[in-house]
Amino acid sequence: MADYNCISFHLFFILIFYSFLRVESFIPLGRVSHSSILVENKLYFFGGDIGLDINIDSNEVFYLDVSQQFDAEFPTWTDLTINSGIGFKSAFAAIALNNDNHIYLIGGTMQNQNNEDSFTSLVHKFNPKSGQWEVPIIAGKEPARRRFIKAVADNFGNIYVFGGLADKFVGSNVVQYFNDMIILNTIDLTWSYGPVANAPLKRVLYTATILPGGEILYIGGVEDSDNALNVVDINQIYIFHTKNNVWSVMVST
> Between the CA of residue 59 and those of 85, 130, 251, what are the distances in Å?
6, 18, 40
Q: How many CA atoms lie within 13 A of 244 on its CB side?
A: 4
CA angle in degrees (0–180, nearest 5) for 175-199-173: 10
What is the domain count for the chain?
A: 1
- Give residues with Cβ within 8 angstroms of 10, minimum separation 6: none
- Give residues with Cβ within 8 angstroms of 194, minimum separation 6: 160, 180, 181, 182, 183, 240, 245, 247
Contact 186, 157 (CB under 8 A): yes
Q: pLDDT digit string (tens) for 15-54?
A: 444 444 444 578 999 999 999 999 999 999 999 999 776 6
Q: pLDDT digit string (tens) for 163-192?
A: 999 999 999 999 999 999 999 999 999 999
Instruction: Give mean pLDDT, residues 223-228.
Output: 92
Cα–Cα distance between 229 and 165 in angstroms, integer? 12
Range of the domain at 158: 2-251
Q: What pLDDT, on the 0 to 100 scale, is given for residue 97?
A: 97
pTM of the model: 0.88
Q: What pLDDT, on the 0 to 100 scale, is given for residue 72?
A: 87
Question: Domain holding 201: CATH number?
Answer: 2.120.10.80
